[in-house]
Amino acid sequence: MSPFEPIPAMPAASRPAMFPSRRVAFMALAVAFITAGCASGPDYHAPALPETAAGPFVSHAANTDAAEALPAYWWKLYDDPALDNLVQEALSANTNLRVAMANLGRARAIYKEARGGLFPSTNVSAGAGYGRDQTTWTGTGQAPTQWSYTGGLDVSYELDLFGRVRRDIEAARDDTDAVAAAYDAARVVVVAETTRAYMDACTYGESIDVAHSSIELAQRSLDLIGSQEHAGSASHLDVERAGVTLAQAQAALPPLQGQRDAALFELTALMGRTPSQVPESARACIQAPEIARALPVGDGTALLRRRPDVRQAERQLAADTARIGVAVADLYPRVTLGASGNYLRNDYLKGNRTWSFSFGPLISWSFPNTLVARSRIAQAKAQGEASLASFDGAVLNALKESEQSLSAYGAAMQQREALIEARDRAEKAFRLADRRYRAGSISYLDVIVAQTSLIDTKSQVAAADQRVGSARVSVFKALGGGWEQPGT
């Protein structure tokens, strides 16, 4: 349901005539003063949230706690000082955050400019000249040359009778709040992606260690079967099969190194560094930190209160609602009070003759083109409807992303548990096959099969660790944590 109220048409009796008499003008001014303090356009009311958005999440991922809300500094759950330092540096040096902060400064300056409409505007002028001035010459004949000095002060003040200035200030304030929420949303992204890049660098380092151990295992098998071939107890076919396994294990190493470098370079960019400035703590990490407790995820109500993008959409809706009032105010005349004082002095004008002034009320009426004004009202209302739809979309997107991330995290956890069991069984099978081969009860082909299965499952577990770590970060990111600053 739209929060916007219909705008009543201006009664014909209160429409100003093109050439009002003094009495009509006085009555109109009196009415204007009486109605001063009334703001034009609809008053803003925050839209209602879907009833089904409250309560626990639909996805019940394992190792999550819906009874506890997400902490502000969720990355500290990893209890990793290196990660804490990386996140703090990224928050202080990230270029996207610098852009967002500059945008916030600009929005605040615009708000101050809008507030200036509450105060009078002044115009001061001064000058000096030398020459003839026939306008001040009181004698006969040609005016003599002389010095003249001028000065002036004009003061004007718009009476905000119909709330145009106040609605403009309200819109600017809400715009500032929306930009502040955008800055908080940028902090959420920076914290999450910095943590993700660090986790990826660590898990890829772990995968590289697994790849090295697989290469060593395949190399020992090749050396063993090579020795047996020289002794005449193994065929050259077995040697070639062992060589294939070694080459496959070696081929898995370069992609992992490339992925780890990509994660490290991503981390440096997030921290405002160049690729040559990779943090040593991240380069040395070969095991990703884990969280020793269930993930605190809270519920849908806490999510919508916390997500900065939802707050940004709500504040933008408030600003666009206020702009409807700005457009409505253009249907009515603007009344301005003014005062002016002027100073002119030369050799012939001295004393009281050098001063002139006028003091209000100096009233100027502006009669706008109502067709244009009503068109702008329609535009403002359409923009308000679009902002309302954007707010509804932001709410739905926040709920969707949270459910998706929780579901993906639960699936990744289950997959890793199954792969760990497969790896353990593959390791037992390889040891059993190796003993039976040495006892001469099976062929070397069975050993190769068991060894290949062990190498594959080790690689899959390492890849699953990376997916679980990334999915966990996605949960924190979807929940909208990480934007809070000290003291908030």
State residue 135's pLDDT score. Answer: 61
Task: Kindly give the pairing relationship between strand 121-132 and strand 145-159.
Answer: antiparallel
Which DSSP symbol is given to 488?
-
CA–CA dist 201, 337 (Å, integer): 67
Q: What does the pLDDT look like over 112-170, one tens digit per residue? A: 999 998 888 888 888 887 776 666 555 666 666 777 778 888 888 888 888 889 999 99
Q: What does the pLDDT look like over 470-487, one tens digit per residue? A: 999 999 999 998 888 754
CA–CA dist 182, 115 (Å, integer): 23
Task: Kindly give the pairing relationship between strand 145-159 and strand 335-346.
Answer: antiparallel
* CA distances for 436 relative to 96, 128, 224, 344, 442, angstroms: 60, 112, 15, 117, 6
CA–CA dist 165, 171 (Å, integer): 10
Structure tokens at 145: 């040359």
Instruction: With a cut of 60, say whether residue 14 has pLDDT above it.
Output: no
Domain range annotation of the chain: 31-118+161-333+371-478
What is the per-residue DSSP string for 383-404? HHHHHHHHHHHHHHHHHHHHHH
Neighbours of 488 (CB within 10 A): 7
- Assess contact for 298 and 479: CB atoms under 8 A: yes
Task: Kindly give the pairing relationship between strand 64-65 and strand 335-346.
Answer: unpaired
Neighbours of 262 (CB within 10 A): 14
Given the candidates 1.20.1600.10, 1.10.357.10, 1.20.140.10, 3.40.718.10, the CATH classification of the domain at 31-118+161-333+371-478 is: 1.20.1600.10
Which of 22-26, 92-96, 148-152, 292-296 has the highest average model confidence (pLDDT)?
92-96
Sequence letter at residue 20 = P
Closest CA to 420 of 455, 462, 453, 448: 462
Instruction: With a cut of 50, say whether residue 422 has pLDDT above it.
Output: yes
Structure tokens at 167: 């609605």
Structure tokens at 136: 């001040």
Enter the pTM of the model: 0.82
- Assess contact for 476 and 303: CB atoms under 8 A: no
Question: How much of the chain exceeds pLDDT 90, in percent?
Answer: 54
Answer with the residue of higher pLDDT: 129 or 454: 454
What is the per-residue DSSP string for 20-58? --HHHHHHHHHHHHHTTTPPPSPPP-PPPPPGGGSSS-S
State residue 333's pLDDT score. Answer: 80
- Assess contact for 7 and 374: CB atoms under 8 A: no
Instruction: With a cut of 50, say whether residue 4 has pLDDT above it.
Output: no
Q: What does the pLDDT look like over 313-367, one tens digit per residue? A: 999 999 999 999 999 988 888 878 888 888 777 766 666 656 666 666 555 555 6
Instruction: State the pLDDT confidence band at 438, using cuts at 50, 70 and 90.
Output: confident
State residue 161's pLDDT score. Answer: 83
